[in-house]
């Protein structure tokens, strides 16, 4: 993806919490000599430099992974449409404003390893335990290896060793603070889906010194 300098991540301290707060994305496996890649929407867990997930055995992504284990996991969230008039402050003509969309996006690229109960007993159950601990912390739940031993063979686990991270936080970095704060006020007034999160990112990046180039 294209990332303007003003939209670039402030570092791991910015992109990692974003991914950890939005652990649902699209797994992209290009395979070899395919017209289009295989794209799978999926829940996942980011733990250190590794992503963990599981999918049904029949998922076509496994054929693509057998051809080429290199994958991309795309996460995009906290988006909000910014109408053209919102870009005007003071005596500026609102009809001359340029609409845009605020959003955060992180792409994790790495090599996938398949974990199959047929060849790695207990491997899928271990991934499920990791996911349950992340998504249902403190909630009593039956151990999958004990409660559902046969069903474990219907799913396959994937771990991705992250090698490259590309992140973009497009939250008005191309305009000055006054214009960004005006948009924050309008986001608060509209209070639609994603508006509060987008406004929070604007304020957070302002406080961190992400100024206009």
pLDDT band at 213 (very low <50, low <70, confident <90, very high): very low
Domain extent at residue 31: 5-207
Which 3 state secondary structure label does DSSP give 109? strand
Domain-located, residue 213: no
Domain-located, residue 40: yes
CATH of the domain at 145: 2.30.110.10
With b meaning 16 or more CB within 10 Å and e meaning fewer, what string describes 125-134? bebbebbbeb
What confidence tens digit (pLDDT) does each residue in 18-38 have?
Answer: 999 999 999 999 999 999 999
Beta carbons of 14 and 172 less than 8 angstroms apart: no
Q: Which two tokens stand for residue 150?
A: 């046969």
Helices (H) and strands (E) in the chain, counts: 6, 7
Domain-located, residue 107: yes
What confidence tens digit (pLDDT) does each residue in 112-167 have?
Answer: 999 998 888 889 999 999 999 999 998 888 888 777 888 889 999 999 999 999 99
Domain-located, residue 93: yes
- Please give the pLDDT value at position 138: 86
Domain-located, residue 212: no
Domain-located, residue 149: yes
Beta carbons of 26 and 137 less than 8 angstroms apart: no
Total tally of structural domains belonging to the chain: 1
10: CB partners within 8 A, 6+ apart: 169, 205, 208, 210
């Amino acid at each position: 993806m294209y990332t303007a300098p003003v939209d670039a991540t402030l570092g791991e301290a910015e992109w990692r919490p974003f991914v950890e707060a939005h652990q649902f994305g699209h797994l992209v496996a290009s395979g070899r000599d395919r017209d289009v890649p295989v794209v799978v929407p999926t829940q996942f867990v980011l733990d250190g430099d590794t992503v963990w997930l599981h999918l049904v055995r029949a998922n076509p992504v496994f054929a693509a992974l057998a051809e080429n284990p290199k994958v991309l996991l795309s996460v995009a969230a906290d988006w909000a449409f910014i109408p053209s008039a919102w870009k005007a402050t003071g005596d500026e003509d609102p009809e001359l404003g340029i609409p845009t969309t605020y959003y955060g996006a992180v792409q994790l690229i790495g090599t996938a390893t398949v974990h199959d109960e047929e060849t790695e007993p207990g491997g899928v159950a271990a991934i499920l335990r990791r996911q349950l601990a992340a998504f249902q912390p403190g909630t009593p739940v039956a151990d999958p290896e004990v409660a559902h031993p046969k069903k474990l063979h219907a799913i396959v686990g994937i771990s991705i060793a992250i090698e490259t991270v590309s992140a973009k936080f497009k939250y008005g970095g191309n305009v000055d603070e006054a214009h960004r704060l005006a948009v924050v006020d309008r986001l608060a007034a509209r209070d639609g889906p994603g508006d509060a999160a987008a406004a929070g990112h604007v304020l957070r990046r302002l406080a961190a010194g992400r100024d206009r180039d």
